[in-house]
Chains A and B, each alone.
Chain A
């Protein structure tokens, strides 16, 4: 796989030297960042529509927080502090399964329960992470929270690629069933959809996605990138197809622009922050469009 990445990097660098594409592409890390952006953009945009339709935004936020604990545990257990994937995956998957299991077996409403998990995971994650970063490397905290796309390694790209393929292979054929399971569980059961299983599969998808995107977008902001492009698309679209496609487009443009603009203008911004700011501008624009043109207003009533 690394040969393949190398080949892409070399071809881009050649193009940059010829002057066909901007000078920044002479650097290998810029090309890495761009490749990641091209992968996570459509992925987060597509899955984001499901997150919005299933009202699971805060669920993914708490997984993001859990990932901080995962990083800290990984470092404490002696994993490399730049790639503690084993600990992150293990801890986040356990956390997600526990949350989903509890959700089905408590009297609490799901937003209360997720609120509890969200704050606990933030408290534990922040405490452990601060403890670890003081001991090992103070830059861990910043990178984990807000992403540092310029330090993306081949391992990071492999993880991201595998997760993308898994989510495509699982999420595409089960899309209808997962959506129906949350729209009306009773109807879904009558139609022989295993509702509980679908919930678990979706939760695991979100978990894999969150961990794989941590390096690029950051723990705090993964959820934002799931949510904002889909919310922006929803403002101006009336069919499911348009919703998914537009959300993917918004998300991809946000990722690419969020990675390239700070580099081009030499701005010391964390990649996650930049990506979300671009995404937010899409949301603002679509909100204005929706408020301005009566056609959109009517469609809502």
Chain B
């Protein structure tokens, strides 16, 4: 199932009188890994949520889904992006929840997969197998009975990746997925991202680590209130402008090991 291409024109976002994003024109081609980078507080998450139609933005966002049987193009303006027949996998930055809630990994996945059967009544038909496979892919098998509150930050992030794989997405949106990942989790994520791209999935990835962007991204956009740059990664990452913007974030040559502390995520944006 090929992923969509996405085009946005003159995208603006103003929240309670403050201009968050202005005049963004961007095209993301089908099946590419598109990295969104930029300084913290620059509006990366707001931009991606606007693309998904979750924000009261103005401007056009157009998804073109190329289906194998009937090519159809869905055009929507304003706050709606009609994607109802297509699967978007979304990995949020982190899960904000009451850590003492008695919800296990299985319960969470059942809540996600089951259509109507309440999660406390167990999995619906076939959903346990699908969940097992997804957890296996992110290296979380054997953690199925663990409570969410007892998972490490990285494990919780992997669980969120697993839910984005059910059902197989056509568009995958990752919001700084590496923030609290350990080394092994990072390897798993990077190989999964590559695997999904090889299957034609369009991937939008809000990224922090410029080294990973350099290695994997097909295209890059840099958002700092407005679009600073859009295009292939290399020329921009080597430019003085990028050096200026990212001077205070991670140096390119030595990406630091992310912390495995579950609370580390709270210190980021």
Interface residues of A (CB under 8 A from B): 49, 52-53, 55, 107, 172-176, 179-180, 183-184, 186-187, 189-192, 233-234, 237-245, 299-301
Contacts and interface: CB of A to CB of B under 8 A. Distances in A.
Closest 6 CB pairs of A and B: A190-B90, A175-B118, A240-B107, A173-B116, A244-B120, A176-B111
B102 A238 contact: yes
Contacts of A243: 102, 120
B23 to A, nearest CB: 24
Contacts of B163: 187
A43 B177 CA distance: 39
The contact size tier of chain B is: 35 or more
B150 interface: yes
A241 B90 CA distance: 26
A186 B120 contact: no
A300 B262 CA distance: 13
Contact of B120 (A191, A240, A299): A240
B98 interface: yes
Contact of B147 (A52, A180, A190, A299): A299
B124 to A, nearest CB: 10
B88 interface: yes
B121 interface: yes
Interface in B194-208: none
B65 to A, nearest CB: 15
Given A107-B16, A180-B112, A234 B102 contact: yes
Nearest to B262: A301
A183 B102 contact: no
Given A175-B118, A301-B150, 5 more contacts: A184-B92, A186-B49, A191-B90, A238-B102, A239-B103
Nearest to B90: A190
B84 interface: yes
B92 A186 contact: yes
Contacts of A300: 99-100, 149-150
A89 B153 CA distance: 44
Given A183-B95, A184-B95, A240-B103, A190 B118 contact: no
A240 B120 CA distance: 5
B248 interface: no
Contacts of A301: 150
A53 B54 contact: no
A141 B27 CA distance: 65
B181 interface: no
14 contacts: A49-B120, A53-B98, A53-B101, A53-B103, A179-B111, A184-B92, A184-B95, A189-B52, A189-B53, A238-B145, A240-B104, A241-B121, A241-B122, A300-B149
B96 interface: yes
Interface string B168-195: 0000010000000000000000000000
